[in-house]
Structure 1
Amino acid sequence: MSEQVTLSPVDTIDVTILVDNSVDVLLPGNEMVQRAPLAVNWTEREQLIAEHGYALLLTVASNGRRASLLYDAGLGRNTLLHNMDVLGVRPADLRAIVLSHGHADHHGGLEGVVRHLGKRGLPLLLHPDAWRYRRIVFPTGTEIHMPPPSQADLDREGVTIIEERGPSLLLDDTVLVTGQVERITDFEKGFPLQQARTEHGWEPDIWVWDDQAIVCHLKNRGLVVLSSCSHAGVINILQHARRLTGIETVYAFVGGLHLSGAVFEPIIPRTIAELQAIGPSVIVPGHCTGWRATHELARALPAAYVQTSVGTTLHFA
């Protein structure tokens, strides 16, 4: 079991959804949920792009100081950069990049965004298993190959790669990267369709040990947890965050729950029941959550549910 860490609380947390599976420019916002601004003439400006990928910009503020990191980089080589340009995102204070895991829909835009930022020595934190070459084999026989990030490309761009299996603290101890998540539930059983290429050929690789989340402590509110895919299981992740920090209250969860398709839909009821017991005040399911699970979450947690959309900024204060 990982040792408890001391996570410094922050005054505000801003999470901007830079890449996700859907975009809806007509969604309403409020004081907490700030949608992308509308243009007077849509044809006169570039539009936000949605794709099967995920990327978040996290900005924390405490005692008048702000700092940001990028969590994942989407699938397309240029999608993340394009959406940043459309939104006018210029994170001059970007201090790190965190990779949730090694699947291509989370690292595809890394090289482009690093080159664009032009920051030599920018830290990139990942779990060592993120370098594994994987494939997903569906029951129909269809395969999707998942090549890892190119270490040569990242080295060429001057990125400082940090491999870590355990938890890490970033941005002056205000951001916790969970590292490898302990698996304790009896119903979250990894990704049974996944294999990894080894020296002995393709072998089962169901646990996706490189799956890691980000955790912040919002002062007087509780934990804000970001998880791109939750291959470790969203309940495992939230319980792991509680154990690491010693903080029981989960204020918000933002990310993918990976409950789509015939393999994962049977655990939707149990997952939602456990989420209701944890009781987050805000839940923003995206990316790989799946339409069925998203509808069930909206019904089960109507006061907490927020519809995702590329360009949305969640302001937690």
Structure 2
Amino acid sequence: MSDQVSLEPVDAANVTVLVDNFIDALLPGGEVAQRPQVAYDMWEREREQLVAEHGLSLLLTVERDGRSASLVYDAGLGRESAVHNMDVLQVRLPDLRAIVMSHGHSDHHGGLEGMIRRVGARGMPLVIHPEAWRDRKVVFPTGTELHLPPPSRRDLDREGVEVTEERQPSLLIDGTVLVTGQIERVTDFEKGFPLNYARSNGGWEPDPWIWDDQAVVVNLKGKGLVVLSGCSHSGAINVLRQAQRLTGEDRVHAFVGGMHLTGGIFERLIPRTLDELVAIAPKWLVPGHCTGWKATHEIARRQPEAYVQTSVGTRLQFT
């Protein structure tokens, strides 16, 4: 069992959805969700359209004692998708302190090159689990294969990126942001991704556990944890329990990101996952990316007051 860490509480945690699978330009805002402003001629300016894709990138900004700092969690699939959306949203990152990779699948690191060229390396760390460098593929029951190449270590070195490999939990931004590191698998129903394979000694071997899966956690002062998860390949409940165990804080204020409950193999996990979610009782749930429409609709039905619909460009304000 991992030792507890001392996670400094923050006054605010703001999450901007830079890349996700879904966009709705007419989606209304709400108590915590601020949507991009509608402009009179926005649909006449092709280059100023936000883009959605099968990928994820989140910008996390924490505020403490009047100061703010940011990190990027994942970089999306397309090389320029995240930076294009940053331009449309007029997002500037003068206070960017780190980039964190949730895991090595290409729909989470494909935009790294564009992101790093935009913000500059500047000795800024890229925090990544050592198994994220594995070359992978998904083999579907039909026999169709999908290649998921890892990030290029050579390209990152050429760009002068300071790569920090870590299996254990680590703290960033003056102790206010926790990277969970390798997540312990403690539930009896979250069994990984059985279709995932990794290259080994020239061949392919089953790689269901995807051990590089890691989340980002902030402790919102007086309210509990804000948890960001890329795909939750370790299981959404395992992710939340790891956050609680490492911080000693049982309250979960918000969960944002993917739960990987899409497709026939994972849809049978929806009832048990939602039972556990109801017991944990996050104040806010913002499922996106690979959560899947069946799980998303069930979350909205069972926890309507907590559910917030994701959309590219949304700014979530947790204060």
Aligned to 1:28: 28
Distance 2:112 2:275 in 1: 36
SS at match of 2:199: strand
1:156 aligns with 2:147: no
1:157-172 superposed matches below 5 A:
157-172=159-174
Shift of 1:32: 1.6
Aligned to 2:5: 5
Shift of 1:90: 0.6
Distance 1:299 1:218 in 2: 26
Aligned to 2:71: 69
Aligned to 1:296: 298
SS at match of 1:264: helix
Q: Is the 8 A contact 1:120 1:157 kept in 2?
A: no
Q: Is the 8 A contact 1:134 1:195 kept in 2?
A: yes
Shift of 1:116: 1.3
- 2:181 pairs with 167, 179, 186, which one? 179
SS at match of 1:311: coil
Aligned to 2:38: 38
SS at match of 2:121: coil
> How high is the TM-score relative to the length of structure 1?
0.99
Distance 1:203 1:32 in 2: 43
CA-to-aligned-CA distance 1:150-173 (integer Å, 9 cap, x gap): 111111111000000010000000
Q: Is the 8 A contact 1:18 1:311 kept in 2?
A: yes
CA-to-aligned-CA distance 1:167-195 (integer Å, 9 cap, x gap): 00000000000000000101000000011
Shift of 1:131: 0.1
Aligned residues: 317
CA-to-aligned-CA distance 1:245-293 (integer Å, 9 cap, x gap): 0000011000000000000000100000000000001000000000110
The one-letter amino acid of 1:136's match is V
Aligned to 2:87: 85
- 2:207 pairs with 201, 205, 208, which one? 205
SS at match of 2:264: coil
SS at match of 2:265: coil
Distance 1:95 1:237 in 2: 23
Unaligned runs of 5+ residues in structure 1 are none
The one-letter amino acid of 1:268's match is I
Aligned to 2:105: 103
Q: Is the 8 A contact 1:252 1:280 kept in 2?
A: yes
Farther off after superposition, 37-46 or 282-291:
37-46
Farther off after superposition, 156-165 or 112-121:
112-121
SS at match of 1:303: coil
Distance 2:84 2:290 in 1: 22
Shift of 1:40: 1.1
Same amino acid, percent of matched pairs:
67
Shift of 1:112: 1.1
Shift of 1:120: 2.6
Shift of 1:200: 5.1
SS at match of 1:3: coil
Distance 1:11 1:118 in 2: 28
CA-to-aligned-CA distance 1:14-67 (integer Å, 9 cap, x gap): 000000000001111134210011111121361000000000000000000100
Q: Is the 8 A contact 1:100 1:227 kept in 2?
A: yes
Q: Is the 8 A contact 1:122 1:158 kept in 2?
A: no
Aligned to 1:226: 228
SS at match of 1:116: helix
Unaligned runs of 5+ residues in structure 2 are none
- 1:59 pairs with 55, 58, 61, which one? 61
SS at match of 1:196: strand
Q: Is the 8 A contact 2:75 2:108 kept in 1?
A: yes
Distance 2:280 2:246 in 1: 16
Distance 1:294 1:31, change over 3 A: closer
CA-to-aligned-CA distance 1:58-87 (integer Å, 9 cap, x gap): 000000010000000000011011000000
The one-letter amino acid of 1:129's match is E
Distance 2:258 2:202 in 1: 32
Q: Is the 8 A contact 2:121 2:162 kept in 1?
A: no
The one-letter amino acid of 1:218's match is L
